[in-house]
């Protein structure tokens, strides 16, 4: 019976981490449904970019209020994980505050730091809740956030409030027990298990709330908080996959893999290059038989109709998006009331990818469900409102490129469906016929030099 | 402005066994749009004044394919690109200057992979260098004390991170540069990019160029400096739409510098 709690803890830990790993494996499988894309170049620049933007949060702080609060929560999250490590070791070994004998006074500093961070995180998260639910901030009121996305964001924040509350209550009761032991009030073996360790600048303010309680009561409160706190963290870990919150991990690879070429440089489609070269080659035989072995190959579609036509970095982008809406807030089309929202493009891509993933989970392989990313999720009206200005790409704090997805779908509309707006067809007809988007003769291109 | 301006073609250069110092890529808007033609001529006057041995392709120039590419028609874009590259490579062109950020971006970033690698320079950077090397001087403080706000074209600014060259030119005019709320990397699009120039906007509650022009008007500027023929059109239309015609002028940087010199 002595090791029962250790055993329960080990099972809980392994089960939760295992379930999370299983879902991450599915996510990776889903990302691999996309086309391969080579981002193995310029490694040192990529590492530097990751250090600056993901680790260093350099783009987050461009919006000072949200950026500053986010840095607190981010630093809090990273640093408090050291405490989680201790909690896990304690849980597995049945020790209490196992780091304290090794670290001595450093341990006090550490615990004090965790406490202060926990408090700052609590304050920041409450401000976030107010920003999302009370203040009228445009990017949190957009139509794509109605329903689940808004609830999801709030659940994440509630979770953090509860976790930080549990952590501080756990420390406050721990301190109350420590004080009882020091005063000689608590003498049982279980009470002596609570080593005199740590410095509690925040929870010591809460300790008086628990004065006069018996050791047994304090012990129950402390243990309950301890268990709920670690169980909460493990539940939160598993919630990540079902929420918009995966960015806490995916931001790093996502920034590493982000485009390094100038933002204005769009990809040249190699399938088209091959066709154009063939057309321009006077020796090409248009009736030539296909290369042996390639007769049965189905030519890949031009542009993107569904998630399978996007590349793996674009699909990773979709899982990484945390729906902050800075892209949409900067989008000229969205600002002026058009349907387009770059954030919705990312959310739609992820939702469709998850839908495809669910079919694969169920059937073992993808079976056509008659739906597509284009039209079923993203409408041509949204796509044609884009000015390709790159404001969304510039605004994203973690290197997501909604514009590249918009462009791929435009390409599909034009190259596969010939479904450009009429005026654009006229423009393209002009380029084709007379080398300018307007109906002027190419021979007249130098007339301006003779005009006064 | 009745004097004729000297605009040699590359074909003429080659016929004389010479190679131009730089090719001036005029672009469709600069060739055909009445407003943009003024920018083209202003820039040519500056090139003439600085004694730059430039040439144009004239009737051998064709659309870079930018609007087709942004509209999703990769096929048409690459056809245009391949044809232009054949002409440019045939003349062994090494340096290109253009007053259009869309042509600039396409030639500089998207042509190399298709076989056309050139040193491509936007006219604001080119003018800055002409002034820095003393080939061009700006005299006469015609714009002294005037408030000028600069609108960053997306395809020059965010797309290629050229923010300073145009601003340095404005400072050379002794004018007061006032920034809009959204500028440089946060600059708001004029609404013309991505082939929007050639179509009506989708339903919404405002035109993008009105949104941007209002922001420019809010700075209290006398002049909106532009560095892109499409931005120029959109901002000029915005000024008309906001009943500010005659009060605020939209001018390209080449025009500002040429006017400062009374060219």
Per-residue pLDDT at A102 = 85
Residue B186 shares a structural domain with residue B255: yes
Residue A187 shares a structural domain with residue A130: yes
Whether the per-residue pLDDT at B1 is higher than 60: the answer is no
For B123-176, the pLDDT digits (tens) are 999 999 999 999 998 875 788 889 999 999 999 999 999 999 999 999 988 889
Number of domains, chain B: 2
Greater model confidence, A371 or B261: A371
For A107-158, the pLDDT digits (tens) are 889 899 999 999 999 999 999 999 999 999 999 999 999 999 999 999 999 9
Check which CATH number belongs to the domain holding B54 and give it.
Answer: 3.40.50
Residue B254 shares a structural domain with residue B154: yes
Q: Which residue of B has its CA nearest to A303?
A: B72
Residue B148 shares a structural domain with residue B101: no
Residue A220 shares a structural domain with residue A335: no
Residue B182 falls inside a structural domain:
yes
Beta bridge partners, B55, equal: B23
Residue B2 falls inside a structural domain:
no
Residue B87 shares a structural domain with residue B28: yes
Per-residue pLDDT at B75 = 96
Chains A, B: CB contacts under 8 A, how many? 220
Nearest CB to B160: which of A262, A302, A436?
A262
Residue B191 shares a structural domain with residue B116: no
Residue B166 shares a structural domain with residue B119: no
Residue B192 falls inside a structural domain:
yes
Residue A290 falls inside a structural domain:
no
Chosen domain end from B130, B157, B189:
B130
**Contact list, A447 vs chain B (CB under 8 Å):** 31
**Contact list, B23 vs chain A (CB under 8 Å):** none
Q: Which residue of B has its CA nearest to A392?
A: B186
Residue A423 falls inside a structural domain:
yes
Whether the per-residue pLDDT at B262 is higher than 80: the answer is no
Domain interval for residue B34: 10-130
Residue B123 shares a structural domain with residue B214: no
Does the distance separating the beta carbons of A436 and B31 come in below 8 Å?
A: yes
Residue A293 falls inside a structural domain:
no
Residue B104 falls inside a structural domain:
yes
For B200-233, the pLDDT digits (tens) are 999 999 999 999 999 999 999 999 999 999 999 9
Residue A275 shares a structural domain with residue A419: yes
Residue B252 shares a structural domain with residue B158: yes
Residue B221 falls inside a structural domain:
yes
Residue A426 falls inside a structural domain:
yes
Does the distance separating the beta carbons of A386 and B63 come in below 8 Å?
A: no
Does the distance separating the beta carbons of B211 and A336 come in below 8 Å?
A: yes
Residue A234 shares a structural domain with residue A309: no
Across B33-54, average pLDDT: 95
Does the distance separating the beta carbons of B61 and A438 come in below 8 Å?
A: no
Beta bridge partners, B251, equal: B225
Residue A87 shares a structural domain with residue A152: yes
Residue B158 falls inside a structural domain:
yes
Dist CA A121 CA A101 (whole Å)? 28
**Contact list, B185 vs chain A (CB under 8 Å):** 394
Whether the per-residue pLDDT at B115 is higher than 90: the answer is yes
Residue A449 falls inside a structural domain:
no
pLDDT band at B21 (very low <50, low <70, confident <90, very high): very high
Residue A252 falls inside a structural domain:
no
Does the distance separating the beta carbons of A440 and B72 come in below 8 Å?
A: no
Which of these ranges, A290-294, A319-323, A438-442, B90-94, has the smallest mean pLDDT?
Answer: A290-294
> Does the interface ipTM go beyond 0.90?
yes
Across A341-354, average pLDDT: 97
Residue A228 shares a structural domain with residue A303: no
Residue A212 shares a structural domain with residue A129: yes
Residue B231 shares a structural domain with residue B255: yes
Per-residue pLDDT at A117 = 93
Report pTM: 0.93
Residue B109 shares a structural domain with residue B178: no
Nearest CB to B80: which of A414, A431, A449?
A431
Residue A336 falls inside a structural domain:
yes
Mean pLDDT, all residues of chain B:
94
Residue A315 shares a structural domain with residue A426: yes
For A238-271, the pLDDT digits (tens) are 999 999 999 999 999 999 999 999 999 999 999 9
Across B101-118, average pLDDT: 97
Chosen domain end from B97, B130, B163:
B130
Residue B3 falls inside a structural domain:
no
Per-residue pLDDT at A297 = 67
Per-residue pLDDT at B2 = 47
For A7-56, the pLDDT digits (tens) are 888 899 999 999 999 999 999 999 999 999 999 999 999 999 999 999 99
Number of domains, chain A: 2
Residue A318 shares a structural domain with residue A428: yes
Residue A12 shares a structural domain with residue A122: yes
Residue A277 shares a structural domain with residue A184: no
pLDDT band at B3 (very low <50, low <70, confident <90, very high): low
CA-based nearest distance B187→chain A, Å: 8
Residue A123 shares a structural domain with residue A186: yes
Chosen domain end from B130, B148, B164:
B130
Per-residue pLDDT at A208 = 87
Per-residue pLDDT at A294 = 67
Which of these ranges, A87-96, A376-385, A393-402, A443-452, has the smallest mean pLDDT?
Answer: A87-96
Residue B76 shares a structural domain with residue B42: yes
Does the distance separating the beta carbons of A407 and B72 come in below 8 Å?
A: yes
pLDDT band at B244 (very low <50, low <70, confident <90, very high): confident
For A56-110, the pLDDT digits (tens) are 999 999 999 999 999 999 999 888 888 888 888 888 888 888 888 888 888 889 8
Residue B34 falls inside a structural domain:
yes
Domain interval for residue A351: 270-281+299-437
Residue A349 falls inside a structural domain:
yes
């Amino acid at each position: 019976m002595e090791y029962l709690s250790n055993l329960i803890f080990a099972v809980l830990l392994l089960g939760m981490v295992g379930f999370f790993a299983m879902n991450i494996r599915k996510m990776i499988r889903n990302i691999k449904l996309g086309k391969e894309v080579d981002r193995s170049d310029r490694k040192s620049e990529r590492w530097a970019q990751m250090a600056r933007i993901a680790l260093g949060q350099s783009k987050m702080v461009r919006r000072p209020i949200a950026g500053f609060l986010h840095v607190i929560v981010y630093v809090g999250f990273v640093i408090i994980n050291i405490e989680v490590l201790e909690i896990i070791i304690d849980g597995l070994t049945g020790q209490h505050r196992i780091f304290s004998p090794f670290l001595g006074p450093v341990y006090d500093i550490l615990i004090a730091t965790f406490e202060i961070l926990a408090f700052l995180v609590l304050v920041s998260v409450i401000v976030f809740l107010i920003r999302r639910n009370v203040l009228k901030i445009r990017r949190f009121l957009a139509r794509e956030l109605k329903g689940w996305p808004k609830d999801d964001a709030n659940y994440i924040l509630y979770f953090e409030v509860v976790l930080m509350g549990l952590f501080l209550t756990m420390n406050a009761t721990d301190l109350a027990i420590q004080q009882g032991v020091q005063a000689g009030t608590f003498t049982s073996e279980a009470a002596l298990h609570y080593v005199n360790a740590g410095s509690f600048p925040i929870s010591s303010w809460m300790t008086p709330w628990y004065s006069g309680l018996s050791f047994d009561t304090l012990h129950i409160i402390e243990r309950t908080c301890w268990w709920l706190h670690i169980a909460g963290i493990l539940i939160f870990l598993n919630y990540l996959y079902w929420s918009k919150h995966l960015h806490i991990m995916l931001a790093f690879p996502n920034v590493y893999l982000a485009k390094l070429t100038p933002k204005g440089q769009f990809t040249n489609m190699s399938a088209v290059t091959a066709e154009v070269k063939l057309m321009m080659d006077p020796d090409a035989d248009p009736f030539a038989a296909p290369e042996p072995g390639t007769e049965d190959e189905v030519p890949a579609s031009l542009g993107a109709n569904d998630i399978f036509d996007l590349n793996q970095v674009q699909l990773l982008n979709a899982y990484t998006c945390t729906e902050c809406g800075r892209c949409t807030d900067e989008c000229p089309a969205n600002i002026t009331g058009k349907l387009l929202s770059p954030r919705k493009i990312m959310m739609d891509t992820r939702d469709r990818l998850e839908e495809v993933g669910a079919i694969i989970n169920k059937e073992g392989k993808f079976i056509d469900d008659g739906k597509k990313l284009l039209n079923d999720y993203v409408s041509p009206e949204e796509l044609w409102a884009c000015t390709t200005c790159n404001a969304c790409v510039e605004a994203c704090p973690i290197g997501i490129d909604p514009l590249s997805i918009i462009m791929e779908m435009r390409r599909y509309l034009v190259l596969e469906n010939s479904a450009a707006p009429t005026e654009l067809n006229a423009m393209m007809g002009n380029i084709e016929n007379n080398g300018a988007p307007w109906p002027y003769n190419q021979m007249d291109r130098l007339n301006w030099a003779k005009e006064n | 402005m009745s004097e004729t301006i000297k605009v040699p073609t590359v074909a003429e250069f080659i016929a004389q066994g010479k190679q131009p110092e730089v090719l001036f890529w005029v672009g469709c808007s600069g060739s055909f749009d009445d407003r943009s033609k003024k920018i083209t001529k202003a820039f040519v006057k500056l090139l003439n004044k600085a004694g730059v041995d430039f040439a144009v392709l004239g009737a051998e120039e064709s659309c870079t394919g930018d609007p087709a590419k942004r509209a999703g028609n990769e096929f048409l874009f690459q056809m245009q690109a391949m044809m232009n590259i054949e002409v440019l490579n045939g003349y062994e062109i090494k340096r290109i200057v253009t007053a259009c950020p869309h042509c600039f971006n396409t030639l500089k970033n998207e042509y190399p992979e298709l076989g056309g690698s050139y040193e491509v320079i936007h006219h604001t950077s080119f003018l800055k260098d002409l002034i820095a090397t003393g080939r061009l001087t700006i005299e006469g403080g015609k714009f002294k004390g005037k408030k000028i706000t600069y609108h960053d074209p997306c395809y020059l600014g965010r797309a290629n991170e050229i923010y300073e060259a145009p601003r340095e030119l404005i400072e050379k005019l002794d004018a007061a540069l006032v920034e809009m709320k959204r500028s440089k990397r946060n600059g708001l699009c004029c609404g013309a990019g991505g082939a929007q120039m050639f179509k009506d906007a989708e339903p919404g509650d405002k035109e993008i160029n009105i949104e941007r022009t209002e922001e420019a008007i809010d700075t209290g500027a006398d002049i909106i400096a532009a560095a892109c023929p499409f931005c120029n059109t959109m901002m000029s239309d915005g000024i008309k739409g906001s009943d500010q015609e005659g009060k605020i002028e939209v001018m390209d940087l080449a025009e500002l510098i040429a006017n400062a010199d009374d060219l």
